[in-house]
Structure formats: C-alpha cells, structure tokens
Amino acid sequence: MSVNSALGSVAIIVDQIPHMLGPKLEGLKPGSDESFFMLAAFCFNLSRKLEYFFLATKEFGRDADRAIALRLKRDRDELARAGSDWRSIAVKEEELMRRIYGEIQGDYEALWASKTGGEAR
C-alpha cells in the first residue's frame, strides 16, 4: 500500500457513527440503560476504527519509532498491574491519558497555533 493510499484510508476511517446527526444528550437520562448503551456504542465504534487504522498503516509499522513503542509497552504493563475490574482499569486509563497529554500539550498547542495562525487553544 502506498503512503497516499494509507493516508486516504485513514481519512475515510472516520466515517459516521450511528445516529450521527441525531441529538445525543437530549432526552437521555444519565444512568439509564440507553445512556449506558450509547456510551458503549461510541467506545466500540472508536475501538473498531482504531483497528482499521492498523489495517491501513500496518506495513509502515516496521518503521515505528522505538521510543513510542516502548512507551506503549510501559502503559500496557501499568494497565496489567492496575487490576481486572473496570473501575481500576478506567482510573489507570485516565491517568495514562492525562500523562501523555501533559507531555505533548506544549508541542501540540504550538503546532495548532502555527497551522491556525493564532494562539494556542
């Protein structure tokens, strides 16, 4: 697969989620079965799309940055030690998400500003 083909595939992976144009929060009762299943559907949708990202880019994986691979391994190892209940996993996932964003925030904001001609968000 060419780089252009891989990037083109990534561009269309975003495709729509169910009920894309419909209201999401209107009439939704927090804690209801419907709110739970909506959240689950969004999570599964995102997870499925990440698998498609892999399919679109797997041949470039051998060129992956080793430092990033090692960081992902560190995260995976931390998650394995967090426990097997969903609450513990969620707490650890939030910690990992906040840590990586804290590390990239400055670079991301600078890139954002350079591309939008404005200040950091």
Residues 30 and 59 in one domain: yes
Give residue 120's pLDDT.
57
User: Could you tell me if 53 and 7 lie in one domain?
Assistant: yes
pLDDT of residue 14: 77
Range of the domain at 34: 1-63
pLDDT digits (tens, 9 = 90+) for 10-26: 888 877 777 777 888 88
**What global pTM score does this model have?**
0.78
Per-residue pLDDT, 13: 85
Statement to judge: residues 78 and 53 lie in one domain: no
pLDDT at position 118 is 77
Q: How many CB atoms lie within 10 A of CB 56?
A: 19
pLDDT interval class at 121 (50, 70, 90): low
Q: How many domains does the chain have?
A: 2
Shared domain for 82 and 47, answered yes or no, is no
Please indicate, yes or no, whether residues 40 and 78 belong to a single structural domain of this protein: no
CB-CB contact of 78 with 96 (8 Å): yes
Q: How far is CA 55 from CA 42, 68, 103, in A?
A: 20, 19, 27
Q: Are residues 38 and 57 in the same domain?
A: yes
- Tell me the H-state helices in 1-121: 3-13, 33-57, 66-82, 86-116
- pLDDT value at residue 65: 93
Please check whether residues 55 and 29 belong to one and the same domain.
yes
Per-residue model confidence (pLDDT) at position 81:
97
Give the model's confidence band at 8: pLDDT under 50 very low, under 70 low, under 90 confident, else very high.
confident
Of 63, 93, 113, the domain-final residue: 63
Q: Residue 102's pLDDT is what?
A: 95
pLDDT in tens, 22-71: 888 888 899 999 999 989 999 999 999 999 999 999 999 999 999 999 99
